[in-house]
A and B are shown apart, each in its own frame.
Chain A
């Protein structure tokens, strides 16, 4: 379970998220949505445990077994590493900085790659993958983390429809296994079709609940208005 209690997260004294109160129950599959600049990535990073320049209020996460899927832009795909080496990082909790990957670890990596539809891709360099293949590789790494709480930052950005469909099925499977899945999402139609729950923010909480209700036109309009007036207020203050 994740609980926010009047949570404010800020960079350079400007709150990215403010006065957020609410909770995400264990076993949820929830989309974190909002306009650009709404504070979605800041919030999910804070849940992941990244230190934020200024954090006030309460944020409680009741597990340390957290899996993380970053945006692709954060990964240096030109680095000379093969897919097996990259996916094996998901086993860090088991092998740490010094443990050997071993035959068992390699088998787990191969299984994870097969599960995301990339069997036999282990020896390929990361730089040779397409955007969709890279996203599948990130899902394979997340799978190996065997986390209770899976956090995904824009997992379907720039991914084709078939890949999105197959990877979405994985999210549903993880939820069925009892894991909590929180994903920052931009594709609202996909959220309505797939996610049972959504949390809509615009630096503050706009709505939380069943995805179709949360993503109503009225709520989305309010989110845009709140963000625009907050941005205008900051501009005037500057």
Chain B
């Protein structure tokens, strides 16, 4: 109980917990689809790609949440569009052009922040400050979670179909194009919302790791999504407590907690984990 008392005793811990809970509820389901679409590294690249937009927002308005958020979204959308355009015009694979643009973006972003800010500002943007979330940041995180869940509910069936059998979706409906771009929009918005708490480098961790870990426990998308949210919440709690009691930086502590759950799942998960695979037995698991 004494371990958990920090959540009751300190307002900043309550704010951090609420912010992380919003990120878990929102980013983890998006991350499930991202990993299932084999786009995990795309999420990582996109989290770097938003940096110059955040930096321009910072240059214009300092550490203003609104300016940095709008800048991040604009940068993410521009990189996504440029990547798609290069692929269509040249036939170069999308992952290759995305890698080129995210590297350019990351370098540009660090350069822009360095023009005016201190190394403290740069660290704030790169690694976030979940223990110092203000009202505006909390509102943004909660609004993002609400919108994300509503949109996901709306596009759930076409999104599933687009993942499993995209050609069939193209034939039976006109959802194929829109659902892809709406989903990419959700990825960008969640990364941008998450950077305030976890930084641009770490926010992708809460998107990818819970989904990857949950996949090792279930063959059902619904169950996997709920598990991913729970893993996100557990990682947040463990990371925040580690940060509070042992003085660890909060963003990496939360991401490492999610990483530890991923490794445990990888070894013991009953839906494809290493140990169950070695055991002869059931035909399949539900």
| Residues of A bordering B, CB below 8 Å | 12, 45, 48-50, 66, 68, 70, 74-76, 79-82, 85-86, 89, 92-93, 96-98, 123-128
Flag whether B48 is at the interface (Cβ < 8 A).
Answer: no
**Chain A residues within 8 Å of B285, by CB:** 125
Flag whether B221 is at the interface (Cβ < 8 A).
Answer: yes
**Chain A residues within 8 Å of B171, by CB:** 48-50, 66, 68
Flag whether B286 is at the interface (Cβ < 8 A).
Answer: yes
Flag whether B276 is at the interface (Cβ < 8 A).
Answer: no
Q: Could you list some 23 contacts between A and B, CB below 8 A?
A: A50-B170, A50-B171, A68-B167, A68-B168, A70-B165, A74-B167, A76-B36, A76-B163, A79-B163, A79-B221, A80-B36, A80-B215, A80-B224, A81-B221, A82-B220, A89-B168, A92-B172, A97-B157, A97-B158, A97-B173, A123-B286, A124-B286, A128-B283
Taken together as a complex, chains A and B put the C-alpha atoms of A80 and B36 apart, in Å, by 8
Flag whether B175 is at the interface (Cβ < 8 A).
Answer: yes
Is A50 a contact of B172 with CB atoms below 8 Å? Answer: no
Taken together as a complex, chains A and B put the C-alpha atoms of A96 and B160 apart, in Å, by 13
Flag whether B10 is at the interface (Cβ < 8 A).
Answer: no
Taken together as a complex, chains A and B put the C-alpha atoms of A100 and B200 apart, in Å, by 39
The answer, among A96, A98, A124, for a CB contact under 8 Å with B284, is: A124
Flag whether B41 is at the interface (Cβ < 8 A).
Answer: no
Residue of A whose beta carbon sits closest to that of B91:
A12
**Chain B residues within 8 Å of A81, by CB:** 160, 164, 220-221
Residue of B whose beta carbon sits closest to that of A127:
B219
Taken together as a complex, chains A and B put the C-alpha atoms of A16 and B168 apart, in Å, by 22
Most A CB atoms within 10 A — which of B167, B175, B220?
B167
Is A79 a contact of B283 with CB atoms below 8 Å? Answer: no
Flag whether B218 is at the interface (Cβ < 8 A).
Answer: yes
Flag whether B161 is at the interface (Cβ < 8 A).
Answer: yes
Residue of A whose beta carbon sits closest to that of B282:
A128
**Chain B residues within 8 Å of A48, by CB:** 171
**Chain B residues within 8 Å of A76, by CB:** 36, 163-165
The answer, among A79, A96, A128, for a CB contact under 8 Å with B164, is: A79
The 5 closest A-B pairs by CB, nearest first: A128-B284, A125-B219, A92-B172, A79-B164, A80-B221
Taken together as a complex, chains A and B put the C-alpha atoms of A97 and B174 apart, in Å, by 11
Shortest Cβ distance from B246 into chain A, in angstroms?
A: 36
The answer, among B36, B164, B173, B284, for a CB contact under 8 Å with A75, is: B164
- Contact bitstring B200-236, A, C-beta under 8 A = 1, else 0: 0000000000000001001111001000000000000
Taken together as a complex, chains A and B put the C-alpha atoms of A128 and B219 apart, in Å, by 10
CB within 8 Å for A79 and B36 given contacts A70-B165, A70-B168, A74-B165: yes
Shortest Cβ distance from B277 into chain A, in angstroms?
A: 13
Shortest Cβ distance from B204 into chain A, in angstroms?
A: 22
Is A80 a contact of B283 with CB atoms below 8 Å? Answer: no
Shortest Cβ distance from A18 into chain B, in angstroms?
A: 22
Residue of A whose beta carbon sits closest to that of B218:
A80
Shortest Cβ distance from B172 into chain A, in angstroms?
A: 4
Residue of B whose beta carbon sits closest to that of A77:
B164
CB within 8 Å for A50 and B167 given contacts A97-B157, A128-B284: yes
Taken together as a complex, chains A and B put the C-alpha atoms of A49 and B221 apart, in Å, by 30
Taken together as a complex, chains A and B put the C-alpha atoms of A182 and B165 apart, in Å, by 20
Taken together as a complex, chains A and B put the C-alpha atoms of A92 and B173 apart, in Å, by 8
**Chain B residues within 8 Å of A124, by CB:** 284, 286
Residue of B whose beta carbon sits closest to that of A125:
B219
**Chain A residues within 8 Å of B165, by CB:** 70, 74-76, 89
- Contact bitstring B147-166, A, C-beta under 8 A = 1, else 0: 00000001101101101111
Residue of A whose beta carbon sits closest to that of B36:
A79
Q: A12-B91, A68-B172, A70-B168 are in contact. List 5 more A-B contacts (CB 8 A).
A: A75-B164, A80-B36, A81-B160, A82-B219, A89-B161
Is B157 a contact of A80 with CB atoms below 8 Å? Answer: no
